[in-house]
Amino acid sequence: MAQRRRADDDPEYGLPSPSWPSALVLPERPPQLIYLDLNHWIGLGRAQKGNGSQPYIDLLARLRAAIAAGRVRVVLTISLLREVSKIGTPAQRAELTDLMDDLSDFTYLAGLPDIFRLELETALDEITGTKGAEFQPVSLLGRTVLHSLGMVGGLRIMEEGVDVTQELVDSRPGFGEQLAGWERRAERAFLAGPGEDEIPGLRAGGYRPEIPQQQVRDNAAFERQWAEGIDPYRATHHIRDLVIARYLQLELLDMLSHELIARGLLLNQVYKDAGAGRDFALRMPSSAVFISLLAQYHQDPGKQWKQNDIYDIDALATAVPYCDIVLTDAAARDALVRRRLDVTMGTVLPRRPADLIAILNGLSELAPDE
C-alpha cells in the first residue's frame, strides 16, 4: 500500500491564490452564510422532535436566534436535496423539509455547472488578457431549487401565451400572497418528494427517482475503478496531478473548448505544460475544492467509495469557496483541512455542533447592538 503523504511536507498540497469569478454576484455580509451537511440536518431534525442529543438541541436554538438577529443565513445545495430524496420514509423527508424551510427559507446556492463556467471565464480573462463568451451574471443565492439547476424559478400565470402574473398581482388584492403560498408549496414538494399514496400514480406517469440515484452509484463505481487503474502510477506521480488531467478532460473540456473558440485561442496559449495546467485548474475556487477532495480520497488505495462521497464532493465544491462556515462530516472535514482549503478559501470548518455554537456565540458578542 502506498504511503499517505503529509500536507506540510509535500508540494502536492500547495494551492495558488483563487481567481474569484467577477460575474458571480455575492450577497452582502453579514449575514454569514452557513452550509450544513445532511447528517447534521438529521441531528437537528431529531432535536426538533424532542429526541435529539443535547449538542443539537443547543445548536438548533442558537441557529434560530442568529437567523432571527440577521447574523447568519443557512443555505442549501442541489446535492443536499438529492440526498434527502434518497431517504425512504416520506414522513422523515417531510420533517426535514419543515426544518429546512424554517432555517433556510429555501435559499439555494447556484449550481456547480454555472459556477464552474464563471470561474473558467475569469481564469481565462486573467491568464490570456482576452474576453470570451462573457456570460451573464449569476447570483450566488436563489430562493428556489431551480436556481441550482440554472433555471429561473417562480410560478407564472399565462393567458394565450402572454405572462400576466404581474398584472394579476397588481390588480387583485391578496393575489401576491396567494402566489407566494403556491410557490412555497412547490419548493416543499421538490424537497420532500411525494407521499406514499402519491407514488403509484406518479410512477404510472413516468416517475423514476431511482434513475438519478443510479447515476450517483455509477459515479461511485467509476471512482472505485479509477483508483484501481492508477495503482501502477502511485509511486511515480502525484495523485492530484492525475486527478487534474482527468478533470480537465472530463469536466472542463466542453466549456474550455467553447471559450477558446470565442477568444480565438489555442490551448497552448492557456497552459503549455503540466505545471501551468495544474495552476490553471487550481486557481478556480470550486475546481480546486473538487480536485483536492478527489485527490485526498484517492490517496487511500483501499477507500470504499460510496454515494455520499459523490454528493459531498459536489456540495462542498460549491459551499466551501462561497460560504463562511461549513459544518460537514468528519471525513470530509479532514480532507479539506489536509488540503488547506479552509485557509485558502477563508472558510471556517467547525469540527462538531459545539464548535459551531461557539462561533455563533462569538458572532453575537461582536454584534453592535448587544
**Phi and psi for 368 in degrees, rounded to 5?**
-70, -20
User: pLDDT tens, position by position, for the chain (370 residues)?
Assistant: 333 444 444 667 889 999 999 999 999 999 999 999 999 999 999 999 989 899 999 999 999 999 999 999 999 999 999 899 888 788 898 999 999 999 999 999 999 999 999 999 999 999 999 998 888 899 999 988 888 887 666 656 677 677 766 776 677 777 667 666 666 777 777 777 766 666 666 566 655 666 667 778 888 898 999 999 999 988 888 999 999 999 998 889 999 999 999 999 999 999 888 889 999 999 999 999 999 999 999 999 889 999 999 999 999 999 999 999 999 999 999 999 999 999 999 999 999 999 999 999 998 765 544 4
Angstrom distances, CA of residue 338 to CA of 9, 135, 277, 292, 293: 11, 34, 22, 9, 10
Which pLDDT does position 367 carry in this prediction? Answer: 53
Which pLDDT does position 202 carry in this prediction? Answer: 53
Half-sphere exposure of 82 (CA within 13 A, CB side): 22
8 Å CB contact between 367 and 361: no
Which pLDDT does position 195 carry in this prediction? Answer: 64
**Phi and psi for 33 in degrees, rounded to 5?**
-95, 130
* Contacts of 60-66 spanning 24+ positions with Cβ under 8 A: 62/356, 62/357, 62/360, 62/361, 63/34, 63/103, 63/360, 64/102, 64/103, 65/360, 65/364, 66/360, 66/363, 66/364
* Contacts of 100-103 spanning 24+ positions with Cβ under 8 A: 100/41, 100/76, 100/191, 101/184, 101/187, 101/188, 102/64, 103/44, 103/63, 103/64, 103/67, 103/74
Which pLDDT does position 214 carry in this prediction? Answer: 75
Which pLDDT does position 212 carry in this prediction? Answer: 63
Alpha helices (H) in 54-164, listed in sequence order: 54-68, 78-86, 90-104, 112-128, 145-148
Question: Which residue's entry shows cell 438577529?
Answer: 69
Which pLDDT does position 211 carry in this prediction? Answer: 63
Residue 208 exposed, middle or buried by CB count within 10 Å (0-12, 13-18, 19+): exposed
pTM for this one?
A: 0.88
Please tell me the distance from the alpha carbon of residue 44 to that of residue 31, in angstroms, as a whole number: 21
**Cell reading at 357:** 455554537
Domain ranges of the chain: 24-366
8 Å CB contact between 156 and 128: no
Q: Which helix (H) or strand (E) holds 72?
A: strand 72-75
Please tell me the distance from the alpha carbon of residue 354 to that of residue 74, in angstroms, as a whole number: 17
Which pLDDT does position 189 carry in this prediction? Answer: 75
Amino acid identity of residue 147, one-letter, is H
Please tell me the distance from the alpha carbon of residue 168 to that of residue 178, in angstroms, as a whole number: 11
**Phi and psi for 69 in degrees, rounded to 5?**
-85, 0
